[in-house]
Amino acid sequence: MIDPSPKRNLEDLEQNIGYIFRDKGLLRNALIHKSFHHENREEAPSYNERVEFLGDSVVGLIIVEYLFLLEEKYSESVMAKIKSYLVSESVLSDIARSISLSDYLFLGKGEESTGGREKKSILADALEAVIGAVYIDGGLEKTRRMVLKFFAGRIDSAVQSGEFYDYKTELQEKTQLLYATLPEYRVIKEQGEEHRRVFTVAVFLGGKKLGVASGRRKKEAETLAAKKAIERLEESDSGS
């Protein structure tokens, strides 16, 4: 039997995700990276890519269903943008870190030595693999409850803030076209305890402040600041 990371045991991970496996082997397999498999074929005859592929589809279905059932009836294109944002490597790896998933991964020596436990791609894939394993072990309803435990708040936040829309890229394209320069983002204030930190970000163009916004993450604050900057530029254009 493969022993989990000496830092943690799999029961701790089950507590973190809020699901107890009937078949513990499914969870172990979801945590095995191909680098470990290649170095330990007898101990780990398979690895997590197949179940990760399944988990990717399952989490996509659950997110789209949640969006579809919201009171606000979003168009297919908007739902696609929100889904794409939520299943991005950045969001998935952030959730993986919130449950300390890196402590439970089985990595090969080479991957371990190059910081594999902190790689966004490995963490995101492992989270999807765990979701796929829960689906196989417990079915859709239990998987939905687990996924929404981690995603519902993020979905609501993304919908309300517009974080799913790439305002930063739009602003960059506008400023390059109109002024041949790039916007600059600066954190001008940080408030709250570390786990409840609120960032306030200002976006500048040629030293002129175009927008200010706050968010629980720097990226969210930058996105909202970019949105305000675009609105200001559009108001300036319409008034000229």
- What is the 3-state secondary structure of 4-20? CCCCCCHHHHHHHHCCC
Q: What's the pLDDT score for residue 1? A: 46
Please tell me the distance from the alpha carbon of residue 217 to that of residue 41, in angstroms, as a whole number.
Answer: 41
Per DSSP, 2 falls in state P
Query: What was the pLDDT predicted at 239?
Result: 58
Amino acid at 47: Y
| Contacts of residue 119, Cβ cutoff 8 Å, sequence gap at least 6 | none
Q: Look at the alpha carbons of 79, 165, 51, 8 in this order and tell me if their dihedral is positive or negative.
A: negative
Task: Measure the CA–CA gap between 175 and 172, rounded to whole angstroms.
Answer: 5
pLDDT of residue 6: 43
Residue 203 and residue 184 in contact, taking contact as beta carbons nearer than 8 Å: yes
The H or E element spanning position 212 is: strand 208-215
CA atoms within 13 A on the CB side of 148: 13
Q: Tell me, which fold does domain 10-161 have in CATH?
A: Ribonuclease iii, N-terminal Endonuclease Domain; Chain A (1.10.1520)
Q: Which residues of the chain have pLDDT under 70?
A: 1-8, 163, 237-240
Task: State the CATH class of domain 167-239.
Answer: alpha beta
pLDDT of residue 24: 95
Report residue 203 as tokens.
Answer: 């976006």
Residues 85 and 25: their CA atoms lie apart, in Å, by: 31
How far apart are the C-alpha atoms of 49 and 132, rounded to whole Å? Answer: 10
For the residues of 67-109, what is the DSSP string, one character each?
A: HHTSSS---HHHHHHHHHHHTSHHHHHHHHHHTTGGGG-B--H
94 a catalytic residue: no
Catalytic option among 128, 137, 163, 220 = 128
| Mean pLDDT, the chain, integer | 90
User: What residue ranges of the chain are covered by domains with CATH 1.10.1520.10?
Assistant: 10-161
Query: Both tokens of residue 129?
Result: 């693999």
Residue 7's pLDDT is what? 54
Of the candidates 215, 191, 192, 188, the one whose C-alpha atom is nearest the C-alpha of residue 202 is: 188
DSSP letter string, 107-152: --HHHHHTTGGG-HHHHHHHHHHHHHHHHHHH-HHHHHHHHHHHHH
Residue with tokens 């409850």: 145
Q: Is 56 a catalytic residue?
A: yes
Which tens digits make up the pLDDT trace of 138-196?
999 999 999 999 999 888 888 877 767 778 888 999 999 988 999 999 999 999 877 77
Specify whether the CB–CB gap between 123 and 93 falls below 8 A.
yes
Nearest by Cα to 212 from 194, 199, 197: 199
